[in-house]
Structure 1
């Protein structure tokens, strides 16, 4: 690369949006060396034809870290040997809140790395009556200042030109005389590290314990300097911050004019007064949830029916025109049935993520986080725990990784342990399938869809379970640390519809390709296990019905169905299912559901593909009904009673709500906790919760 550029900035300044604008799809995600923090890098072509590597550093309010993510910023900027150490910094600030954002700028500027100041969201600042004199600000700071709007894709060419023009030598002016804060200690560190930068030496004194590029001996020598010079980190940090804000006031004087001070927050404050109200705020949130889950059923019914009938048509066409044989059965009853079990749920997945994207884009999701902080504090968590838990609605894996931003160790561990209880998108296909079998598609009072209400209840069950388990763990996991929650509420905005549709597409594609690979593999294995059995069991079954099939007066379709059912029960998968059936029979499950539970431990959504494959084999070639119709008509072989009763359905959904059925989640918990202790505890307690809640529900409702 010709130049390496790091994006640095506060949270909610649009830094990630700018990263996406500059790099497009030419980006990759890995880990910073030696620590499990995401490293986002991308590449772009500059206007002079040269290439630039863009590194998106974690958002931070200052160089003093409050989490493992934030500690990365100074490590990368301070260590010239670090593979991510930049040649140039683009410091992104919110143009409507310059003074608060400029604290980080003044700290980074004192490190002496060449820098460009990017004033983002300049369009929103202008709407609020805020005007910034770019030339005067650039003159006072000694850096290039560029106004951009990453959201609207304006100012990108100007920024790229500024990157091309950036000097290799730092030109920014020193902001604060930091050497006066602890002169003796700073000079000792400068001498020890052979550095001429006062602020670098001061930061080393503050946070050398977190800097992995120092050896144990160097760490001890720095610690000795601290002790011998009586270095008081917290007092010096406070004095530095006060000095910087005083200096920034003089810098921004005459640079920023704000004609809308009195009225710019009036609308936002009035809206927040309602949306974050201690009573109405929660009522509105529940109403929004109901609208979302009602829409998942109401809006998706037609595309679902279309997809389901299309796959049924393809299967029937295949059986009619393809030559009979094992390969045809594998393709139609294994692969095609498995694909049908995946594609039929794309409409619900797309609708769910469209709503989540809209809530995030408008700024409402941040308000939900703020409201939930009070509830979280009651159960021993902070509001920061809400971010991973809300993210758990999509997927537990990135949500557990997001818990790194929680400074308090106890809060972080409890958050990791309970986040998988929040119903993720992988559970959605299971819920929808079961609800469609046991809950009538009826409206109450003309507007409330019963199936949508049931789906909302299942999601609330997961959230309530997570909160209760967190409350219990508060007394089990001990720590003396106290948690604090500070967050900035973003301004309200109209959702970016292009971003919403892109999210729908990306999440649907991920579901099809990521979950699909697992489901197709399982479908093929299950088809083989369901199509063959040990010894000559299949031959004996065919002999048993030879005379009945020869009798032309009898209904051969019914006899063929009986043969298919008996073969399935005597296949390898049938034998395995019947072997585990005694353990799950008290929950109301038959052996077919048992097979679905086993395959679900690879991925929860595999249950749907498993049922599609098993019932495709069970139905035989002549059965043209859909999977839901076959499941609805399924009966216990011994009693003749329906399998999917209301009691069984509720029991099954509760099992899926609580069970740890995701190997990816287990792997990420192992990685984040650096051992098997917590993953094993998580698997044990969640499986126990799933089994006993399902048992109690079935026994009470049957």
Structure 2
């Protein structure tokens, strides 16, 4: 180990020999399990992306519906590690369901998911606050590495850290880093590849009068130290892996010894900060004067202003929706034309039922997926940049002022904004809201926010009926229409929340506390990873559903009950002979009648009377039903349905819809019908996954059923009003 005693970082700091002297090489070929934990805004996500790159996957923690992000990192040519990205937390006393998964993971040493050691990220510019969590983890006896992140920010603020002295005081390896730029990652990987022991320093000792209770808990559960036993006393009601008998035993002990968890937690926090202050007094110096106000604070005066802040945010949204239409149009056209070219090429050279299935089923559905990849990528690019720069945190702070007037918590803003991407994780993120009433209202109204799955529906219909004109010479009219639909969903969400506020009489005080991260330039690698991951999820998950339903629909549209389709064809040909139609006109009428008499047509005719007042026909009825699996399936459905009976040369989705005629031979998709359909999709609950997420979060069917009935009713009535006024 002598040759690896010192590691120099590009930051100028060095990992001293003491870091590695106590470590030994890990056996080659073993997959180390490492948990990544830290305060919110400590750079944990940036470090996770640096360590894992695109080798990431998202699942759930065992037994709960909390997102579990894992990835694989190649530490050295011989060693790989599984990295578990834990939710951000300020301490080991959890306040939300996200934070509780941390205690469940770290308190159960028998779990298959228990990490070999933890990497604790800390913001070097605010090290005092970050060290509270570190000292708690160290006292649990977990082998640990401290990733001292944001060293560049600390230097800008005049914070000077003696890394070697701090390393001796804390008793763990410390790696100075700038995770956003990848500085220090190589040194961290070398240390992570070693066999590390428990921290050599202890930071807090419970009162002696608690030791009898602590020791009984420790021996009963066969725990490895007193501090872990103390946490069992604090949190036995929230630790999921304890049985009812085990909880009863701990509760009996806490009552016997008069254990006051709240008072003890406060006492422990005060004692820990006293110890942290002593440590930092000898290892950290601050040279910045208070007159040098941080740049972030000056920006906040403008960006969170009670007037200018909202105007700037509105402008950012306006730019985003303009970009989604204007900038994404060229790659969308290329993809659309490419799919159409492949489709036409196959049809021109090959024939038969399997070829029809491939072109009108598989390729039609695939085109409905790939065509919208540029817009999905652009939406998530904007969201990632807003999060990376720290602006998204300011948005939630500003919107708190509005949300409270409508019965929502400031924390409700996070799910609502997340709902622009996808309602499922947005609903799950509402678990950070402690207030039951605020949480239920947030879950109920979040699906009204227009998610990315609605973009394919919006863009196809807007492109059909809204001219591609410039307003004031720079603003795209289609982009304005798209933004209007998003604002309509937002207004529906907050006014629905206001109605629920009046209906739910339960009164609880709620608080909104948020830490503002420092403004930074976005790390483009992280933005790129986010875009790739989100697009991959859209293509692979939504795409599988869309293509599968497209194939099923092609079968249903190509075959019918009994010989109904054959009889319909005979009637058309007999009538055509008397009218003297051309062969092409006859083929078009035959295909249209066969579709109407197919299984899909029969099903569509059944639901048509219900949706006829909205301006919809039986073909749209089929799309409405199938898109309940996922909203974006609508485009794949209409692409498949209109492929059967359309001219073979008309291969793009927009061409198919533009060519559709009503019974009078006029264009079917008039502005009245298109906007009626758009409004229906703004409000309708067209997603099984969203209902499943609501069921999981509310632990019952009451809220999902009410959500489904309310949103469907709102969509129907609104669509009816729009069509009747515009037709």
Query: Taking structure 1 as the reference length, what is the TM-score of the superposition?
Result: 0.93
Match of 1:599 in 2: 626
Match of 2:249 in 1: 221
Match for 2:206 among 150, 164, 178? 178
CA contact (8 A) 2:631 2:686 kept: yes
Q: Distance in 2 between matches of 1:573 and 1:187?
A: 70
Q: Distance in 1 between matches of 2:710 and 2:698?
A: 17
**1:111 equivalent in alignment to 2:140:** yes
Match of 1:643 in 2: 668
Q: Distance in 1 between matches of 2:388 and 2:621?
A: 41
Q: Distance in 2 between matches of 1:695 and 1:401?
A: 32
Tell which deviates more after alignment, 116-125 or 156-165.
Answer: 156-165
Q: Distance in 2 between matches of 1:538 and 1:195?
A: 73
Match of 1:301 in 2: 329
Match of 1:211 in 2: 239
Match for 2:604 among 564, 573, 577? 577
Match of 1:441 in 2: 468
Q: Distance in 2 between matches of 1:264 and 1:37?
A: 42
Q: Distance in 1 between matches of 2:209 and 2:521?
A: 46
Specify whether residues 25 and 286 from structure 1 end up closer, same or farther in structure 2 by C-alpha distance, changes over 3 A only. closer
Match for 1:59 among 88, 96, 99? 88
Q: Partner of 2:645: helix, strand, or coil? A: helix
Q: Distance in 1 between matches of 2:243 and 2:562?
A: 66
CA contact (8 A) 1:560 1:620 kept: no
Match of 1:253 in 2: 281
Q: Distance in 2 between matches of 1:566 and 1:3?
A: 63
Match of 2:23 in 1: none
The one-character-per-residue Cα deviations of 1:262-282 (angstroms, maximum 9, x if unpaired) are 366532111111111111111
Match for 1:311 among 331, 335, 339? 339
Match of 1:201 in 2: 229
Match of 1:137 in 2: 166
Q: Distance in 1 between matches of 2:279 and 2:559?
A: 80
CA contact (8 A) 1:304 1:345 kept: yes
Match of 1:23 in 2: 52
CA contact (8 A) 2:360 2:640 kept: yes
Match of 1:6 in 2: 35
**1:616 equivalent in alignment to 2:632:** no
Match of 2:660 in 1: 634
Tell which deviates more after alignment, 549-558 or 538-547.
Answer: 549-558
Q: How many residue pairs were aligned? A: 698
Matches within 5 A, 1:37-436: 37-47=66-76, 49-165=78-194, 167-172=196-201, 174-179=202-207, 182=210, 185-186=213-214, 189-190=217-218, 197-262=225-290, 265-323=293-351, 325-436=352-463
**1:505 equivalent in alignment to 2:532:** yes
Q: CA deviation at 1:545?
A: 4.9
Matches within 5 A, 1:562-573: 562-573=589-600
The one-character-per-residue Cα deviations of 1:55-79 (angstroms, maximum 9, x if unpaired) are 3322110111101121222333232
Tell which deviates more after alignment, 352-361 or 177-186.
Answer: 177-186
Q: Distance in 2 between matches of 1:191 and 1:320?
A: 78
Q: CA RMSD in A?
A: 2.6
CA contact (8 A) 2:463 2:478 kept: yes
Q: Partner of 1:339: helix, strand, or coil? A: helix
CA contact (8 A) 1:114 1:171 kept: no
Match of 1:529 in 2: 556
Q: Distance in 1 between matches of 2:371 and 2:222?
A: 65
Q: Distance in 2 between matches of 1:497 and 1:48?
A: 27
Q: Distance in 2 between matches of 1:497 and 1:480?
A: 45
The one-character-per-residue Cα deviations of 1:563-589 (angstroms, maximum 9, x if unpaired) are 322222222222221221110011111
Q: Partner of 1:612: helix, strand, or coil? A: helix
Q: CA deviation at 1:193?
A: 5.1
Specify whether residues 140 and 316 from structure 1 end up closer, same or farther in structure 2 by C-alpha distance, changes over 3 A only. closer
Q: CA deviation at 1:53?
A: 3.9
CA contact (8 A) 1:590 1:643 kept: no
Q: Partner of 2:237: helix, strand, or coil? A: helix
CA contact (8 A) 2:361 2:550 kept: yes
Q: Which runs of 5+ in 1 are unaligned?
A: none
The one-character-per-residue Cα deviations of 1:658-691 (angstroms, maximum 9, x if unpaired) are 1111122222222222332222222111111111
Q: CA deviation at 1:131?
A: 1.9
The one-character-per-residue Cα deviations of 1:183-238 (angstroms, maximum 9, x if unpaired) are 66546645655667443333222222112343323322322332233322222222
Q: Distance in 1 between matches of 2:598 and 2:104?
A: 59
Tell which deviates more after alignment, 512-521 or 648-657.
Answer: 512-521
CA contact (8 A) 1:381 1:483 kept: no
Q: Partner of 1:151: helix, strand, or coil? A: helix
Specify whether residues 181 and 58 from structure 1 end up closer, same or farther in structure 2 by C-alpha distance, changes over 3 A only. farther
Q: Distance in 1 between matches of 2:74 and 2:373?
A: 36
Specify whether residues 248 and 49 from structure 1 end up closer, same or farther in structure 2 by C-alpha distance, changes over 3 A only. same
Q: Distance in 2 between matches of 1:201 and 1:695?
A: 62
CA contact (8 A) 2:76 2:193 kept: yes
**1:677 equivalent in alignment to 2:677:** no
Specify whether residues 175 and 655 from structure 1 end up closer, same or farther in structure 2 by C-alpha distance, changes over 3 A only. same
Specify whether residues 231 and 478 from structure 1 end up closer, same or farther in structure 2 by C-alpha distance, changes over 3 A only. farther
Q: Partner of 1:209: helix, strand, or coil? A: coil
